[in-house]
């Protein structure tokens, strides 16, 4: 369980009406006294049954929320394969935040699996060469000789694709506020908190430097030339210049294929003349800098259905076993 609702939270603070949803990452970062005050007031976000918080263990198990009282049809009790996968990815990014010195974004991983490794690495190298360092200068962010091969062996640098980073950002991990150094190329590094910008905070930067904007797609125009983020009406993503490769890469055939999809892109934010609209222009019009996650409410895959069936069967046999034991006692 990644989230839990805390029912006590609002009582001491008049400004914070209602219950508060905590992600496990937020909760475990609270001072111990606060954890102890709030931990008895946790409930499952889906079935609203009593939940608990468990600290990270000494042998390396992550901190987690759980509940022994989930309703049989609770989604937290019957997590989908996608959900389990997602939680694994989020935990991986959190581990990097805690342990790594820096993170390098591997843009080649944003391609669908059908592309071969060879092709993508070629694209990646070309991209880096094309983006001359003179394109943008981020004061105090970029240091000369920032990422040398000889050094990278000694430093604890992690490589991650955009998919995991996006999943983690969408689920409210600490990445968005982290001081971790993130490399977008061999030469450019940024503090994570300055690089990752939710689309509702998109603003043109002073020196025209790009940012990694992220959010969810609300809808596209009928001809699929514009994507409109759900978080902010005044922001749009014009995709005409790389439309074909983007649609092919993420298997988008009609507008509904992208509605509700998570996205992240390395882009420059520009304002319209009347300053009423903002546009996110993909850096170099290079689709390697764009990643989209299919909407979560898309129908489950065959594998997911098979696993859900297995879980349900297991749950039922388990219940029967439990009641038999109960009667024999
Ligand atoms: Zn539940």
The tens digit of pLDDT for each residue in 217-259 reads: 888 998 999 999 988 889 999 999 999 999 999 989 888 888 8
Task: Give the pLDDT confidence score for residue 291 in this predicted structure.
Answer: 95
Residues 54, 162 within the same domain: no
Residue 181 lies in a domain: yes
Residues 50, 101 within the same domain: no
Residues 215, 108 within the same domain: yes
* Distance in Å, CA 3 to ligand 1 centroid: 11
* Distance in Å, CA 142 to ligand 1 centroid: 46
Residue 319 lies in a domain: no
Task: Give the pLDDT confidence score for residue 223 in this predicted structure.
Answer: 93
Residues 130, 258 within the same domain: yes
* Distance in Å, CA 44 to ligand 1 centroid: 5
Task: Give the pLDDT confidence score for residue 133 in this predicted structure.
Answer: 37
* Distance in Å, CA 159 to ligand 1 centroid: 34
Query: Long-range contacts of range 237-242, CB-CB < 8 Å, 24 or more positions apart?
Result: 237/263, 237/265, 237/267, 237/279, 237/280, 237/282, 238/279, 238/281, 239/282, 241/282, 241/285, 242/282, 242/285, 242/286, 242/287, 242/290
Task: Give the pLDDT confidence score for residue 228 in this predicted structure.
Answer: 92
Task: Give the pLDDT confidence score for residue 210 in this predicted structure.
Answer: 96
* Distance in Å, CA 177 to ligand 1 centroid: 29
Beta strands, E only, the chain: 3-6, 20-23, 42-43, 52-54, 64-66, 102-105, 157-160, 181-183, 189-191, 196-198, 211-220, 226-229, 235-238, 262-271, 278-282, 290-293
* Distance in Å, CA 84 to ligand 1 centroid: 15
Residues 216, 106 within the same domain: yes
β-sheet bridge partners, residue 50: 43
* Distance in Å, CA 53 to ligand 1 centroid: 14
Residues 201, 96 within the same domain: yes
Taking the CB of residue 12, how many other CB atoms lie within 10 A of it? 8
* Distance in Å, CA 257 to ligand 1 centroid: 30
* Distance in Å, CA 67 to ligand 1 centroid: 7
Q: Which of 16, 44, 78 is the last residue of a domain?
A: 78
Residue 327 lies in a domain: no
Task: Give the pLDDT confidence score for residue 146 in this predicted structure.
Answer: 44
* Distance in Å, CA 80 to ligand 1 centroid: 14
Q: What is the pLDDT of residues 102-122, one digit of tens each?
A: 999 998 876 554 444 444 444
Residues 46, 119 within the same domain: no
Residue 38 lies in a domain: yes
Measured CA to CA in angstroms, residue 257 lies from 5, 169, 299 at distances of 32, 21, 12
Residues 208, 242 within the same domain: yes
Residues 159, 32 within the same domain: no
Query: Which domain does 68 fall in, by range?
Result: 3-78
* Distance in Å, CA 33 to ligand 1 centroid: 26
* Distance in Å, CA 72 to ligand 1 centroid: 8
Task: Give the pLDDT confidence score for residue 8 in this predicted structure.
Answer: 81
* Distance in Å, CA 4 to ligand 1 centroid: 9
* Distance in Å, CA 263 to ligand 1 centroid: 28
* Distance in Å, CA 168 to ligand 1 centroid: 22
Residue 314 lies in a domain: no
* Distance in Å, CA 5 to ligand 1 centroid: 11
Residues 43, 90 within the same domain: no
* Distance in Å, CA 294 to ligand 1 centroid: 25
Q: What is the pLDDT of residues 80-99, one digit of tens each?
A: 777 788 888 888 888 888 88
Q: Which of 59, 78, 97 is the last residue of a domain?
A: 78
| Residues of the chain falling short of pLDDT 50 | 113-153, 296-299, 319-329
Task: Give the pLDDT confidence score for residue 10 in this predicted structure.
Answer: 59
Residues 263, 123 within the same domain: yes
Say how many domains are in the chain: 2
Residues 107, 252 within the same domain: yes
Residue 198 lies in a domain: yes
* Distance in Å, CA 292 to ligand 1 centroid: 29
Task: Give the pLDDT confidence score for residue 56 in this predicted structure.
Answer: 81
Residue 301 lies in a domain: no
Residue 90 lies in a domain: yes
Q: Residues whose CB is under 5 A from ligand 1 (ion)? A: 44, 46-47, 70, 74, 76
* Distance in Å, CA 313 to ligand 1 centroid: 19
């Amino acid at each position: 369980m990644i989230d839990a609702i805390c029912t006590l939270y609002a009582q001491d603070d008049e400004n914070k009406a209602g219950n508060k949803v905590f992600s496990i990452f937020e909760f475990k970062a609270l001072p111990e006294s606060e954890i102890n005050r709030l931990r008895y007031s946790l409930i499952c976000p889906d079935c609203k049954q009593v939940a608990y918080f468990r600290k990270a263990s000494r042998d390396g198990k992550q901190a987690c929320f759980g509940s022994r009282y989930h309703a049989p049809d609770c989604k937290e009790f019957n997590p989908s394969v996608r959900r389990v996968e997602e939680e694994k990815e989020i935990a991986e990014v959190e581990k990097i935040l805690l342990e790594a010195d820096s993170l390098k974004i591997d843009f080649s991983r944003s391609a669908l699996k059908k592309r071969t490794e060879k092709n993508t690495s070629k694209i990646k190298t070309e991209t880096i060469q094309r983006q001359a360092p003179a394109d943008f200068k981020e004061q105090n962010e970029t240091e000369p000789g920032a990422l040398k091969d000889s050094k990278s062996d000694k430093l604890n640098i992690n490589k991650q694709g955009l998919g995991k980073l996006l999943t983690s950002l969408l689920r409210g991990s600490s990445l968005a506020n982290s001081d971790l150094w993130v490399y977008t190329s061999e030469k450019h590094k940024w503090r994570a908190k300055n690089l990752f910008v939710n689309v509702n905070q998109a603003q043109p930067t002073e020196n025209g430097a790009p940012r990694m904007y992220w959010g969810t797609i609300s809808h596209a125009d009928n001809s699929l030339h514009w994507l409109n983020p759900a978080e902010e009406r005044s922001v749009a993503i014009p995709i005409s210049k790389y439309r074909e490769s983007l649609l092919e890469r993420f298997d988008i055939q009609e507008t509904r294929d992208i509605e509700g999809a998570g996205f992240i892109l390395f882009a420059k934010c520009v304002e319209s003349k009347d300053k009423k609209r903002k546009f996110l222009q993909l850096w170099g019009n290079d689709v390697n800098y764009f990643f989209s996650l299919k909407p979560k409410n898309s129908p489950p895959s065959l594998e997911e259905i098979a696993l859900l069936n297995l879980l349900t069967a297991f749950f039922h046999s388990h219940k029967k076993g439990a009641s038999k034991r109960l009667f024999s006692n």
